[in-house]
A and B are shown apart, each in its own frame.
Chain A
Amino acid sequence: MREELIVSGRMNPFIDPHLNIWHWQIPLYLFLGGLAAGILFFAALFYLRGKENEYRAAVKIAPMIVPIILIIGLFALFLDLKHKAYFWHLYTVIRLQSPMSWGAWTLMIITPLSFIWAALHIKEVFPKWDWKYQWLKDIETFFQKYKKVIAWLMAIYSVILGVYTGILFSAFNARPLWNTSILGPLFLVSGLSTGTATAILFSKNHEERKTFARIDLLLIAIELFLIVHMFMGFLASTQVQIDAANLFLGGPYTAPFWMLVVAMGLIFPAVLEALELIKFRIPVYIPAILVLFGGIMLRFILAYAGQMSRWLY
């Protein structure tokens, strides 16, 4: 039998009894970042394939909300900082070893891109929109010329943003649950899936919704595959990672994870989307909202469970 006690007494908030440094702000931001990445990726993809009129919701309508959700996400990140007045130090260096540093720079690039993309389509979405000032109109015509370049940049940076939301966690070898490179692709695919769900929500065109339901089905299948692989990897790894997996296999996060994320967030919407594709009538917003719900729960549960997994004591 072995007993380990800190006899001098240690109750540092944020560390004891287990890590407690990141709260709702971080998973909320990871969800919004992934959502923004998903929407922008499909907007750029369908624009570059020349299908902007067939896929109007994905290319033109859904990107309208991206600047808003990115601003909310960035604000949540700012709220999380404990030394807020010093936040600008993030933009005085580029530290490639630190995922948070290059993530901050990625956001610095993709946030303006999302504003430009929304501005380029705002007149089509809101026909009564008026820029009011001539210089704003000049800026719009200037960017109109480089729309293809912007779309390419958006496609590339949205993938980086989606992967980064997962790498942020997986870079910490001190937290065995997070320390798996599967989190990068898992969060990217989950982000793309929430992006398709948003496109479905905004779309009024049956064909467009059908295409996105098909894409979403594929993404959900990949996500399930990655989740299974994540657990296989953990269970075949060291004791600390086996302990991390056991948080979900009998531990405190078993019910929330398998019910809220896997059943409600992945399998149920996948079944509904499949039923709709074989001509059953199902209100489209139900699977779409379930996918968004699953995306947010995945990040919340992984953020909190990861802080419970550790090496010592």
Chain B
Amino acid sequence: MAVDTRKCVGCSDCVVACQTENSVPIGFCRDWVVEVTDGTYPTLELELRSERCNHCDNSPCVRCCPTGASHYDKGGIVVVTHNKCIGCGACIASCPYDARYAHPDGYVDKCTFCLHRVEKGLLPSCVATCPTKCMYFGDLNDPKSPVSIMLKNRKYKTLIPEAGTKPQLYFLI
């Protein structure tokens, strides 16, 4: 997934769309919007980022899960099998992006890129809802997917690549 930080207005619709689509319990969220302000008035620079699980290629959460509940699913999406999760919290501690939380029902929960929607050919609900259409989703191995095209044409960055997890959430800058 790629998020255009120049188109995002920080409305947080993606957060509400996700909470509604995935019945996220009240008080929790699977995605969130970060506002970064650089400089001193009047020379300020603003960056808005809609953040979520980075579905890393080298996921520390998958590595440290003692039961294999956290695993790579279709297309490299990182998913937790709820009835295999023992709620030990190792994956929550292992995530440098702090993208996971413990669901009140006991298992650990996080963004799934709306795998249940993607399987039906739909877009993740945050992408589908975004009023400025600032998010691009698709298969990075397919050169014609919207996300591949954006990454070809635009400058981008990932968050803390130095953590060594090979994050797959790209921010267009």
Contact = CB atoms under 8 A, between A and B. Distances in A.
Contact of A312 (B40, B86, B160): B160
Interface size class of B (residues with CB under 8 A): 35 or more
A225 interface: no
Interface residues of A, number: 49
B102 to A, nearest CB: 5
B60 A174 contact: yes
B92 A15 contact: yes
Nearest to B34: A6
Given A86-B86, A98-B64, A101-B66, A11 B27 contact: yes
Interface in B32-75: 32-40, 48, 60, 63-69
B93 A21 contact: yes
Interface string A13-30: 111100101100000000
A303 to B, nearest CB: 10
Interface string B5-27: 00000101001000000000001
Interface in B74-110: 83-90, 92-98, 100-102, 105-108
B140 interface: no
Tell me the dominant secondary structure on chain A's binding face: loop
A82 B87 contact: yes
Contacts of A11: 27
Contacts, number: 161
A100 B37 contact: no
A5 to B, nearest CB: 5
Contacts of B28: 12
Given A15-B98, A82-B102, A174-B94, A5 B34 contact: yes
Contact of A3 (B36, B60, B107): B36
B96 A174 contact: yes
B36 A6 contact: no
B154 to A, nearest CB: 23
Contacts of B164: 173
Contact of B60 (A12, A80, A84, A172): A172
Contact of A14 (B29, B88, B92): B92
Interface in A44-91: 80-87, 89-90
A82 B103 CA distance: 9
11 contacts: A1-B38, A1-B39, A2-B36, A8-B12, A83-B87, A83-B105, A89-B69, A172-B60, A172-B90, A173-B60, A311-B163
Interface of A: 1-16, 19, 21-22, 80-87, 89-90, 92-93, 95, 97-101, 104, 171-175, 238, 307, 310-313
Interface of B: 10, 12, 15, 27-29, 31-40, 48, 60, 63-69, 83-90, 92-98, 100-102, 105-108, 159-160, 162-164
Given A19-B92, A172-B90, A310-B96, 12 more contacts: A2-B36, A4-B35, A9-B12, A12-B29, A13-B101, A14-B101, A21-B89, A84-B86, A100-B64, A172-B94, A173-B96, A174-B96
A-B pairs, top 5 by smallest CB distance, nearest first, are A82-B87, A83-B87, A83-B106, A101-B66, A174-B96
